């Protein structure tokens, strides 16, 4: 009886949506795959860890502060970010990771019958949040691993509210240069909210890569996402933010839940800002790691896609899910790409050299098993 009644309560769009199943904790995985160490190369984490200034905050956080609610709007962090970017603090909204601010934007602008547009092989949370909120997600295919701007424009109709661009794109590493992004924004001409997700922007060193925040003054319909999870290695504390025109942020703020960003995260993020040495060391690690993997994987006869960001894609001669299991048995955890609609590919996080060497060695042994 309860099951039948529960079924009647569930909206149709929730019934057809499958819940995301996260990976098990490392200690459980190590027991399951019988390995005594595990190199995490699956989530694009920064193995250098947080900058020293942020580490001090985390290690020294006073336990009595745990009983006190944090700033409900990340006041000090917003003011520091605004100072760094030359913005008004009211142009910035901080959330519990970028996933939360994605939800804020969709809830703020979409109503029944509306749609969002993004790519079919990109960060899937744009699509997921739209669909489990009851809105259509219109997906356009990539061309040569990059967003097809013309295809996206062709899908716009009078119910399109938001267009999501990932720049650089996860998982392909391709990026919109300044000219392409400006042309796209000019064509949209304020008709829709354009979200540019710059989660990996601090890893990009290309001169023609656009600074989305700097474009806010020219494009009032632009919203820029950034995070402290990737370059600043605060993924475990869950903190990200968006920047936009004051009027746009004022609308989005109506949908947010206050106190969702904990006090440790706010303080650590504030301390991490401006650590140029941490950014330099992280970029060097990624540069060296990509060169190593490109060379070694080429020697193994494998195709790779290596753009911007701290990751690269590798095409495997067997099922990516099978490759995941085989590598896990040797203590190396990668991301299988079937979930990204890239079957037969894996994504590898650029990490310390010992982890990358373990990956290459494990891959080499695994490939020999299939010969």
Tens digit of each residue's pLDDT (9 = 90 or more) over 213-272: 999 999 999 999 999 999 999 999 999 999 999 999 999 999 998 899 999 999 999 999
DSSP assignment of 251-276 equals HHHTTPPTT-S-HHHHHHHHHHTT-H
CA–CA dist 20, 364 (Å, integer): 31
- H/E element, 83: helix 75-85
E strands, the chain, where?
39-40, 92-95, 115-119, 136-140, 160-166, 193-197, 222-227, 240-244, 304-305, 311-315, 332-333, 335-336, 345-349
CA–CA dist 213, 162 (Å, integer): 18
CA–CA dist 225, 172 (Å, integer): 18
Q: Which residue has the higher pLDDT, 177 or 339?
A: 177
Bridge partner residues of 14 (DSSP):
none
Residue 170 gets which letter from DSSP? T
The structural domains of the chain, ordered by start, are 2-49+276-369 (3.90.1150.10), 52-272 (3.40.640.10)
pLDDT band for position 371 (50/70/90)? confident
For 323, the 3-state DSSP assignment is helix
Q: Which residue has the higher pLDDT, 302 or 13?
A: 302
Which backbone phi and psi does 193 adopt, to 5 degrees? Answer: -75, 130
Kindly state the percentage of the chain with pLDDT values over 90. 90
The interaxial angle of helices 246-253 and 98-109, nearest 10 deg, is 90
CA–CA dist 147, 173 (Å, integer): 11
127: tokens are 């699509």
* Largest interatomic CA distance in the chain: 63
Which segment, 25-29, 154-158, 338-342, 365-369, is predicted with the most confidence on average? 154-158
CA–CA dist 176, 184 (Å, integer): 10
The interaxial angle of helices 320-328 and 26-33, nearest 10 deg, is 90
Summarised one tens digit per residue, pLDDT across range 183-209 is 999 999 999 999 999 999 999 999 999
Which has the closest alpha carbon to 328: 298, 293, 363? 363
- H/E element, 292: helix 276-299
CA–CA dist 66, 78 (Å, integer): 21
Which has the closest alpha carbon to 333: 19, 44, 46? 44
Average pLDDT (361-367) is 95
Summarised one tens digit per residue, pLDDT across range 73-109 is 999 999 999 999 999 999 999 999 988 999 999 999 9
């Amino acid at each position: 009886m309860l099951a039948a009644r529960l079924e009647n309560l569930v909206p149709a769009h929730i019934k057809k949506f499958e819940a995301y199943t996260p990976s098990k904790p490392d200690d459980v995985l190590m027991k399951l795959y019988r390995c005594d160490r595990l190199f995490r190369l699956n989530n694009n984490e920064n193995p250098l860890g947080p900058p020293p200034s942020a580490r001090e905050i985390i290690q020294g956080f006073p336990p009595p502060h745990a009983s006190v609610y944090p700033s409900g709007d990340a006041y000090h962090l917003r003011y520091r970010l605004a100072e760094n970017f030359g913005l008004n603090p009211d142009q910035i909204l901080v959330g519990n990771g970028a996933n939360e601010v994605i939800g804020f934007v969709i809830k703020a602008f979409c109503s029944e019958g509306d749609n969002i547009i993004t790519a079919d092989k990109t960060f899937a949370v744009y699509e997921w949040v739209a669909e489990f909120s009851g809105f259509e997600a219109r997906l356009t295919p990539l061309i040569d691993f990059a967003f097809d701007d013309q295809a996206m424009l062709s899908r716009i109709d009078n119910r399109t509210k938001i267009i999501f661009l990932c720049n650089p794109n996860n998982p392909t590493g391709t990026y919109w240069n300044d000219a392409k992004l400006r042309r796209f924004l000019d064509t949209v001409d304020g008709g829709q909210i354009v979200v540019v997700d710059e989660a990996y922007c601090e890893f990009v060193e290309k001169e023609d890569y656009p600074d989305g925040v700097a474009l806010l003054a020219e494009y009032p319909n632009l919203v820029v996402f950034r995070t402290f999870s990737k370059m600043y290695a605060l993924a475990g504390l869950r903190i990200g933010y968006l920047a936009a025109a004051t009027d746009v942020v004022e609308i989005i703020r109506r949908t947010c839940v206050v106190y969702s960003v904990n006090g440790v995260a706010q303080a650590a993020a504030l301390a991490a800002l401006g650590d140029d040495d941490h950014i330099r060391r992280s970029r060097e690690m990624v540069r060296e790691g990509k060169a190593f993997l490109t060379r070694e994987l080429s020697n193994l006869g494998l195709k790779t896609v290596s753009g911007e960001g701290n990751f690269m894609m590798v095409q495997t001669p067997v099922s990516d899910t099978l490759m995941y299991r085989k590598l896990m048995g040797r203590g190396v955890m990668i991301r299988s790409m079937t979930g990204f609609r890239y079957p037969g590919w894996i994504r590898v996080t650029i990490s310390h050299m010992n982890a990358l060497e373990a990956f290459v060695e494990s891959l080499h042994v695994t490939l020999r098993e299939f010969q």
